[in-house]
Amino acid sequence: MSYQAPLQDIRFVIEKLAGLEEVQRLPGFEEATSELVDAVLNENARFVEGVMAPLNRVGDEQPAVWNDGAVTTSPGFKDAYRQFAEGGWQGLQHPVDFGGQGLPKLVGAPCIENMNAANLAFSLCPLLTDGVIEALLTAGSDEQKARYLPKLVEGTWTGTMNLTEPQAGSDLAQVRTRAVPQADGTYRIFGQKIFITWGEHDVAENIVHLVLARTPDAPPGVKGISLFIVPRRLVGEDGSLGQRNDVYCASLEHKLGIHGSPTAVLLYGEGKGEVGEGAIGYRVGEENRGLEYMFIMMNAARFAVGMQGVAVSERALQKAVRFAAERVQSRAIGSSKPADTIDQHPDVQRMLLTMRALTEGARATAYVAASLYDKAHHHADAEVRKRNQAAYEYLVPIVKGWSTEMSLEVTSLGVQVHGGMGFIEETGAAQYYRDARILPIYEGTTAIQANDLVGRKTVRDGGAVALGLIERMRETIAALEASGDEELGLVARRFTESVDDYEIVVNYVLETAGSDARAAYAGSVPYLQLAGIVHGGWHMARAALVCRKEHVGDAFHARKAATAAFYAMHILPRTHPLRLAITEGAQAVRWLVA
């Protein structure tokens, strides 16, 4: 089996670290019993292992093919997508009212992780559909919800996000696509969108494009952008499919990785459909508030891309562990055999442990964030909802930015463990290295996440959320120290140093953001990285507490505790150079520019 869902770690994290029980007690989640959660996780594992994982290499080696605007996806993808939709996987976290299962994000997150680990390129399609559903749920009219949501939730149609244009990447102020109002209240859309993930394909019968565009009198910049639904085929009131809209896939990109995911250039308004010139679009919400709505979608997608980072790391780890357990090279220190499997060599162990520690730390951070989301949306107490929402929003750029950056290190180590075989494409380790490279770029680069973390998430509330989290970290330190356990004491020592670094940095950001914005932003990505390392280390330390106190002796928990200790000794000290780069390094960036 090329991928095995890490169900034991997933269950440990959702139960012991992310508070599944508490989430199950929230209003609206009454049906998410432990039996149901178990059944969902098991069925998800079965599906991704059996159907999606075997197609991962197929997609890499046989990318989607473009022919005069039509796209044929990789062999097997269409049938797998049909099974995906029939299994109800698209609707997992979406409202029962629109055909979904209404499960907590804390249950959805591991399913999404497993799907992406099994097949990152394939899973991008439902990932984008999720975003479209979120945006329509929040900003769509009742009529739009009724017309589009049921089909999207059941997976009959898929969704896309159309933001990027050649001159407008991270800078959406430069969007030029035009939306011309028509007498009947619809719009005609004209323009070119690039990098549209799953922008054209053959796995579903329709595609709902959400498109950013400007109306004729819109103000310049980001305050003049509106959001439009542009279905590939028009949809009748009864949900029936009508004419082909004027959106045309001009080409697919030739990419470094995620070959199985067709990345389209879409032309709107070239007269290529059956509706005359201009793609027919329906405005979502109010005029000029498009970016705001798109951010709803982006936030859902950003969390999911963070899960992709965890997912591709887990997949790379599993492959490296298997290889290292089989490959025999050189005698290990102290061994009496002529040669041992390479997982007996200390440097290979160091690499595998680094991979495991980072992956588990990022997973725990993401699931804890998912749990905050559930409380933010379902808790009975408005004050609790608000507090959890703020904490969730603080964590989103960290989950997105750090999980994806660390996946570059993990997938690179995955290649290295394989030695020369790792560089040969047939081995498969190289695919994860290539696939992962998009993760810190799309749905907002790491710099964009870091700017969000500094500006909207740290400075805006005067550091309230960040400093509140630090306070809770210090409670964990106290518990580690109170345990009297030697190993936990070591973890506490390292964790204390890193939490101190974290606090210094948060205060530095708060102090400089007003007086010296360049200094604050020169350290934004190091701040994000530092925060990711500390949050991962926090939940690994919490895991160590559970394992050393409740489960001494059991193999899984012993390994988990050891991984946490490795995290503390090898990963946490990385906060030191990051802290120095932030608090003392801004000047060095300026020297060059001067």
Judged by CB under 8 A, the chain residues 528 through 587 that form the site for a copy of itself are 559, 561-563, 565-566, 568-570, 573-574, 576-577, 580-581, 584-587
Buried-exposed string 434-449: b where 16+ CB fall within 10 A, e elsewhere = bbbbbbbebbbbbebb
Number of residues that bind a copy of itself (CB under 8 A): 89
How many CA within 13 A on the CB side of residue 292? 11
For the beta carbon of residue 167, count every other beta carbon within 10 angstroms: 11
Least CB distance from residue 84 to a copy of itself, whole Å?
Answer: 25
Residue from 75, 176, 236, 423 in contact with a copy of itself (CB under 8 A) = 423
Q: Smaller CB distance to a copy of itself: residue 477 or 490?
A: 490
Residue 253 falls in the annotated catalytic set: no
Among 34, 42, 167, 182, binds a copy of itself (CB under 8 A): 167
Residue 257 touches a copy of itself, criterion: CB under 8 A: yes
Position among 82, 176, 350, 472 found at the interface with a copy of itself (CB under 8 A) = 350
- What b/e sequence results for 118-140 when a residue is b if at least 16 CB atoms lie within 10 Å of its CB, and e otherwise? bbbbbbbbbbbbbbbbbbbbebb
Q: How far is the CB of 332 from a copy of itself (least distance, A)?
A: 9
Among candidate residues 443, 475, 497, 550, the one labeled active-site is 443
364 near 306, Cβ under 8 Å? no
Please, what is the minimum distance in Å from the beta carbon of residue 465 to a copy of itself? 22
Of 236 and 577, CB closest to a copy of itself = 577
Task: Decide if residue 325 touches a copy of itself (CB under 8 A).
Answer: no
Map residues 6-45 to x or -, x wherever contact with a copy of itself holds by CB under 8 A: ----------------------------------------
Residue 459: name the closest of 502, 512, 503 by CA.
512
Interface residues for a copy of itself in 446-485 (CB under 8 A)?
446-447, 450-451
Calpha distance 556→549 (Å, rounded): 14
Q: Select the residue interacting with a copy of itself from 174, 192, 341, 483 (CB under 8 A).
A: 174
Nearest residue (CB) to a copy of itself, 45 versus 528: 528
Nearer to a copy of itself by Cβ, of 32 and 582: the residue is: 582
Q: Which is nearer to a copy of itself, 251 or 507 (CB)?
A: 251
User: Contacts for 490-496 with beta carbons within 8 Å, 24 or more apart?
Assistant: 490/565, 490/568, 490/569, 491/541, 491/544, 491/564, 491/565, 491/568, 492/541, 494/537, 494/568, 494/569, 494/572, 494/573, 495/537, 495/538, 495/541, 495/568, 495/572
Neighbours of 478 (CB within 10 A): 11
DSSP state of 243: E
Q: Which helix (H) or strand (E) holds 210?
A: strand 206-213
Query: Which is nearer to a copy of itself, 106 or 127 (by Cβ)?
Result: 127
287 binds a copy of itself (CB under 8 A): no
Among 27, 185, 420, 484, binds a copy of itself (CB under 8 A): 420
Member of 180, 275, 296, 441 binding a copy of itself (CB under 8 A):
441
Task: List the one residue from 47, 303, 521, 538 that touches a copy of itself (CB under 8 A).
Answer: 521
Tell me how far, at minimum, the Cβ of 19 lies from a copy of itself, in Å. 27
Rule CB under 8 A: which of 105-164 touch a copy of itself?
A: 164
175 binds a copy of itself (CB under 8 A): no
The single residue listed with the structure tokens 């993808």 is: 77
Residue type, 477: I
- Given a contact cutoff of 8 angstroms between Cβ atoms, the answer to whether 296 and 138 are in contact is yes
Region binding a copy of itself by CB under 8 A among candidate stretches 30-38, 364-372, 383-391, 515-523 = 515-523
Give the interface segment with a copy of itself, choosing from 178-186, 305-313, 348-356, 377-385 (CB under 8 A): 348-356
Residue 46 vs 350, nearer CB to a copy of itself = 350
How is residue 224 written in tokens? 């003049």
Instruction: Specify the amino acid at residue 493.
Output: R
Q: Residue 160 in contact with residue 128, Cβ under 8 Å?
A: yes
Out of 1, 382, 555, 592, point to the residue binding a copy of itself (CB under 8 A). Answer: 592
**Phi first, then psi: what are they for 250, rounded to 5°?**
-80, -25
Q: What is the distance between the alpha carbons of residues 334 and 342, in angstroms, rounded to a whole number?
A: 14
The correct pick among 173, 325, 464, 552 for binding a copy of itself (CB under 8 A) is: 173
* Contacts of a copy of itself in 219-238 (CB under 8 A): 220-221
Q: How many CA atoms lie within 13 A of 345 on its CB side?
A: 17
Measured from the CB of residue 192, what is the shortest distance to a copy of itself in angstroms? 14
Place of tokens 């390479």: 342
CB 432 within 8 A of CB 308: no
Q: Which is nearer to a copy of itself, 165 or 503 (CB)?
A: 165
Q: How many residues does the chain have?
A: 594
**Residue 106 token pair:** 């804390």
Residue whose C-alpha is closest to residue 563's, from 6, 2, 5, 115: 6
Of 40-99, binders to a copy of itself (CB under 8 A) are none
**Residue 372 C-beta: closest distance to a copy of itself, Å:** 27
**Residues 92 and 113 sit within 8 Å (Cβ to Cβ):** no
Which residue in this structure is represented by tokens 């290499």?
Answer: 57
Q: Which of 4, 416, 483, 507 binds a copy of itself (CB under 8 A)?
A: 416
244: left (phi > 0), else alpha (psi -120 to 50), else beta? beta
Asked if 425 is part of the footprint of a copy of itself (rule: CB under 8 A), the reply reads: yes
Catalytic residue numbers, as ranges? 443
